[in-house]
Amino acid sequence: MTRTWRITGTADAAGARAAVGRAAARCGVPAVERARLAASLTGRLRQCLAKGGTWVLTLDLPSSAPGAGSLRAVLTPPPELAAAGQIPWEVAVAAPEPAAGAPEEGAADPAEALLDADDDTAAVLDELTAQEALVAFHREELHQTNQGVLALHAELDAAGRAQRTAFAAERRARKEAENARRRLTFLADASAVLNASLNLDEIVRRLPELLVPSYASWVDVWLFDDESEQVHPASHAAAAVRAARTGRPQYAASHPGGLPGVDDQPPSALDPQRPLLCVPLLTRRAPLGVLTLSPPGERWAPDDAVMLIELARRASIALDNARRFEHNRDIAQTLQRALLTELPHIPRLGLAARYLPATHGLNIGGDWYDAFRGPDGSLLTVVGDVTGHGLHAAVMMSQLRTALRAYAVDGSSPGRLLTRLHQFLHQLQPDLFATAVIARFHPEEPTLTWAAAGHPPPVLRLPDGRVRILDAKPGAMLGIPLHQEIADHTEPLVPGSTLALYTDGLVERRAQGIDPGIARLSAALGSLGTAGLDADPDASADRLLSPLLSDSERDDDICLLLCHLHG
């Protein structure tokens, strides 16, 4: 259905506008869309009236099923304007319902049209109010959401700060743990180095090497040679003297050190620009000296100072052990020299002896040799070995040697002498054992008499260079809880023969046993010339030892006694 209006003036425009509004209402167009259609049509009609002429408004109403049509308005310009290029204007809105009857004819009442427009405006305002309420609701909801987001951001920021704080604390803890591990590792390594040696000078030399440059830029080790030096010190810092007298660590600098367990002192007059940490080297008996250090930087951290004080305590123990060892070593060496026998001068018999202490320990043990005349004019030669090392073994060796000489006064044979030594040792020291070999030379008898108790066999070199190992069955070790009578053995002895008595330190090796060592000794003894043995038995003993000691670790004492019968 179509309705047409000719518009030449304002009244025609108002009537046409009102008719279009009523038609849109009948077609079920919503109030908002009717208001939008009326506003758009009013503006276009105002333009048309301004241009003049007769305009034609055509309104097409939907007549099909509900929701399938549209309300369409077309405003056609006058012919003269159309010729000038003015194109028609049209607008269309969806019509929910078809037109109810034909469009009404005639002009609309302007007052009624105005009221209809007000109704549409009121509906639009109501819709606008509802939309404003909805917008306000959503605005408040958005505000609440923003507040929640801001609170969440604040929580996340606080969590981030807490996490960064935890990370920083973890880094600090890890760094402190790493520094503590580094200090403990250094302390353990330094202690191992200091206690690995029993040489006082070497320990004093190693201390600065350990500390410079990581923990000190300069180190001085002041050791007291005697008690008077502590009371009347030489040119040392006043803080070092105070540390020696009070037994407390001292820190001398122009600023307080703040080090735990350390007393602050004014800077040293000897070197005012250098801070000094003076730590006494204390032992249970008496102070040994003072360790003085200068920091690698401006000052030490408190934990480093605690570590240095602990290192000084461990160095004191190492130095005290070294001094004790040197003192005991001097005693041992003095005792050893006193125990070594001066070999007698016997016509037609050359003697040479060598005693080599082990390279570890006190350099003194239970090995010994002896040679002395018997009451019948014979010569008794002895080599023995008391189990163990140190002063106790040396004292027992001295007692055995003295007892042997006492027993030899009655002219007993070598076997009888060893039997009596066995009984003596078993009664004197039930938990101590010994081995020994005794050989007797008699100037009027071309026979060698010998006996052994748990000892390596003697080796006899004949004049032609052949070597015999005198391995007749020996007795058991001296001192074991066993009753035994040690037998004598005899061997023909011709001029130019050489007998070697020795201890197991010369021939025994850890990985090889004793038999290969005895074989090497036999070969070395056979290689010696008879002329050299006649001329210089001592030089021959050195030549004999040289090849045998080349592979020796010297972890046991070595004793050798050569007896050469001149040709």
pLDDT of residue 232: 47
**Domains along the chain with CATH numbers:** 2-108 (no CATH), 200-327 (3.30.450.40), 340-565 (3.60.40.10)
pLDDT of residue 231: 46
Strand boundaries in 213-359, DSSP class E: 218-223, 250-252, 263-265, 276-281, 289-294, 349-356
Q: In angstroms, rounded to a whole number, what is the distance separating the alpha carbons of residues 90 and 41? A: 9
Contact between residue 244 and residue 233 where contact means Cβ atoms under 8 Å apart: yes
Phi, psi (deg, nearest 5) at residue 193: -65, -45
End-to-end CA distance of the chain: 166
Cα angle: 474, vertex 501, 432; to 5 degrees:
60
Instruction: Give the pLDDT band (50/70/90) at residue 106.
Output: very low
Instruction: Give the pLDDT band (50/70/90) at residue 364.
Output: low
β 349-356/459-461 pair status: unpaired
Contact between residue 22 and residue 108 where contact means Cβ atoms under 8 Å apart: yes
- In whole numbers, what is the pLDDT of the chain averaged over residues? 86
452 strand-pairing partners: 437
Torsion of CA 513, 519, 525, 529, to 10 degrees: -150
pTM: 0.55
Question: Between residues 91 and 334, which one has the greater pLDDT?
Answer: 91
How confident is the model over 402-445, as pLDDT tens digits?
A: 999 999 999 899 999 999 999 998 888 777 899 999 999 987 78
Q: Give the CA count within 13 Å in the CB-facing half-sphere of 253.
A: 22
How confident is the model over 240-286, as pLDDT tens digits?
A: 999 988 999 999 998 888 899 899 999 988 888 889 999 999 988 77
Contacts of 556 (CB under 8 A, 6+ apart): 358, 365, 503, 504, 505, 508
- Sign of dihedral through CA atoms 388, 391, 395, 398? positive
Give start and end residues of each alpha helix (H) in 340-375: none
Q: What is the mean pLDDT of residues 518-528?
A: 93
Burial class (CB in 10 A: 0-12, 13-18, 19+), 380: buried
Q: In angstroms, rounded to a whole number, what is the distance separating the alpha carbons of residues 124 and 31? A: 6
β 2-7/55-60 pair status: antiparallel
Nearest to 191 by CA among 279, 328, 321, 297: 321
Continuous segment of H or E residues that includes residue 565: strand 558-565
Q: How far is CA 335 from each of CA 294, 343, 391, 394, 397, rounded to the nearest angstrom?
A: 44, 18, 9, 8, 11
How confident is the model over 126-140, as pLDDT tens digits?
A: 778 888 888 999 999
